[in-house]
Amino acid sequence: MTYGYNTFRKKLLKEQKHQVYVAGIVNKVTQTNNKTNLLEEADLETVIAQATSTDKWETLSYNAPILPIHAALLRTGKVFFFCGSGNNSARLNTPYDSVVWDVNQGTFSRQTPPLDSNNQPIDLFCAGHSFRPDGMLMVAGGTLRYDPFYGSPSALMFDPITEKWVKRPPMNNGRWYPTVLTLGSGRILAVSGPDKDGKLNKQPEIYSAFFPNGWNAFPITSPLPPYAHLFLLSSGKIFYSGAQMGSNYGVAPRILTLPETFTQSITETVVPGLQAPAFGDQAASVILPPAQDQKVMIIGGGSGKTATNRVNIIDLKATNPTYVAAQPLNYARMHHSAVLLPDRTVFVCNGSTMYEDIAKSMLPAEIYNPATNTWTVVAKQNVPRVYHSVALLLPDGRVAIAGGNPRRTVDELRLEIYTPAYVSRPRPIIQSVPETLNYKLRFTIQTPQAANIKWVSLIKPMATTHSCDTEQRLVDISITSRNATSLNLTVTDNRNIAPPGWYMLFITDNNGTPSVATWVKVF
């Protein structure tokens, strides 16, 4: 059945209390269907479901014990924070703590990283990180000195089960503000960042437990900026989005091809079209859901002390990929965070229109819907957060937000939770699913809502700092058949689409309401 616009609007407003909110949703829905100005019954059901729920922010009653500059969601569902010297030169060469936050219990456990070969504390301030297939977090680089900053060659792993640090062989040179990326092979790539002499490290290297010295380096190549936003593509190639830490590097977005041997150099292909390319400083960028579509979006960013609301998207499956303009943010931002939600939208919070200025903070959050190319302003957060702030998705579909460091020694320790509107709606339930999913595996999910499930998604847990996250991606799991109580599915056969490791598996119904996640290992 279809509804004309006026009939649709009257029916909806009659049934709902929040008329202004509902009318806004109706307008957005009708804008996407303006050729016929008619709405399907499924659209009506979706809008009613969305209109009967609200989102909210909660400032927790307790604070983080350290400044959460680096944050990662562990496969236990707990959140891992560390900061090293925490942007405080007076703390250099002093003992540093990391903490594991049990969000459900509201408790923290502390850990002390090991010492270096000179029995000095290893300063992980401004390191890079990504997850190994076994769920351990590789943390590479850090700080040897301040002003000017020199990069550390240290490499550690954090074990989510024992909640302890493990030393690994050091890199071939130091890295401060490096980018670390897990490949489809499970090996880990480290690039960029000032080295142990303060010079930009131009020699990419890869970690593997099977290498005699842990790390193997490629020949020197053209440099990437610090904290370059990198994304693993379905081809095994790597895309640099144009976002990074700092401005005026003049490095255009590009596709990198890793050679088969370490005697060969990485090759590059520049991609055109990025608007305002100088505004890459602490922009956000994500691979849009699902990862199979191979579309990357860059969001906002700064140049000097000024932010932009620019949003561009590139289709990397195209023969000649080119950035194109998308609907801009409602508010210009830098230092912000972008989080993929299980309803396949993109949540953006934190940040400011001016460099490290909380007086210019953008408190209203925004959500982007790729299906309609629209941004919706949602509830305001309570705490202004700029530099060194983080946000990450929790297994229950909420978002944890922390950090903020507008200037040295000024640490924002308050914690917030953002609860999307879908949490207040009736949610589908995963009754059973295999814990291990092999590539090309056919498997079954038991759920009483099987007839009403639209998507099954794997979401990689985030490991984020400085608006940069190479880990998060949402992978579609195709539904091959179903009955009243179960879904039959097939895992992708492409390790580059879903790099081996631990994922949150969500099911999402036809109203866009996701389940609570179940942890699975893809291997």
Helix axes 5-15 and 19-31, enclosed angle (nearest 10): 150
Is residue 4 over pLDDT 90? no
CA distance 364 to 418: 12
pLDDT band at 51 (very low <50, low <70, confident <90, very high): low
**Helix, strand, coil proportions of the chain in percent (round to 5)?**
10, 40, 50
Question: What is the number of other CB atoms lying within 10 angstroms of the CB of residue 189?
Answer: 25
Q: In the predicted model, what is the mean pLDDT of residues 152-168? A: 97
Backbone angles phi and psi of 50, in degrees to 5 = -70, -35
- What does the DSSP 8-state code read for residue 46? H
Tell the residue number behind the tokens 């900026």, with chain if given.
Answer: 225
22/319: higher pLDDT: 319
For residue 271, give the nearest of 220, 213, 323 by alpha carbon.
323
Q: In the predicted model, what is the mean pLDDT of residues 109-135? A: 95
Please tell me the pTM assigned to this model. Answer: 0.91
Q: Please list the residues that pair with 207 across neighbouring strands.
A: 188, 215
- What does the DSSP 8-state code read for residue 361? B
Task: Specify the pLDDT at position 47.
Answer: 52
Yes or no: say if 418 and 381 are a contact pair by the CB < 8 Å rule: yes
pLDDT digits (tens, 9 = 90+) for 301-314: 999 889 999 999 99
Backbone angles phi and psi of 458, in degrees to 5 = -105, 125
Yes or no: say if 237 and 255 are a contact pair by the CB < 8 Å rule: yes
pLDDT band at 10 (very low <50, low <70, confident <90, very high): very low
State what percent of residues in the chain have pLDDT above 90: 87
Three-state SS across 369-436?
ECCCCEEEEEEECCCCCCCCEEEEECCCCCEEEEECCCECCECCCEEEEEECHHHHCCCCCCCECCCE
- Judge if the upstream peptide bond of residue 277 is cis by omega within 30 degrees of 0: no
Task: Specify the pLDDT at position 43.
Answer: 52
pLDDT digits (tens, 9 = 90+) for 352-397: 998 888 999 989 999 999 999 999 999 999 999 999 999 999 999 9
Task: Specify the pLDDT at position 101.
Answer: 98
First to last CA, the chain: 44
Is residue 31 over pLDDT 90? no
Sheet holding 295-299, edge to edge: 284-287, 295-299, 311-315, 323-325
Is residue 491 over pLDDT 60? yes
Is residue 190 over pLDDT 60? yes
Tell the residue number behind the tokens 């996701």, with chain if given.
Answer: 514
Residues 6+ apart with CB under 8 A from 73: 79, 80, 392, 393, 394, 395, 461, 462, 463
Task: Specify the pLDDT at position 247.
Answer: 86
Distances (CA, A) of 177 to 170, 174, 227, 250, 465: 16, 10, 5, 17, 10
Question: What is the number of other CB atoms lying within 10 angstroms of the CB of residue 201?
Answer: 30
Q: In the predicted model, what is the mean pLDDT of residues 313-328? A: 98
Task: Specify the pLDDT at position 45.
Answer: 52
Find the range with the poorest average confidence among 6-10, 105-109, 210-214: 6-10
Residues 6+ apart with CB under 8 A from 119: none
Residues 6+ apart with CB under 8 A from 254: 239, 240, 268, 269, 270, 271
Q: In the predicted model, what is the mean pLDDT of residues 477-501? A: 98
Yes or no: say if 113 and 164 are a contact pair by the CB < 8 Å rule: no
Question: What integer best gives the mean pLDDT of the chain?
Answer: 92
SS3 41: helix
pLDDT digits (tens, 9 = 90+) for 243-267: 999 987 899 999 999 999 999 999 9
Q: In the predicted model, what is the mean pLDDT of residues 316-336? A: 97
pLDDT band at 12 (very low <50, low <70, confident <90, very high): very low
Q: In the predicted model, what is the mean pLDDT of residues 234-249? A: 95
Task: Specify the pLDDT at position 310.
Answer: 98
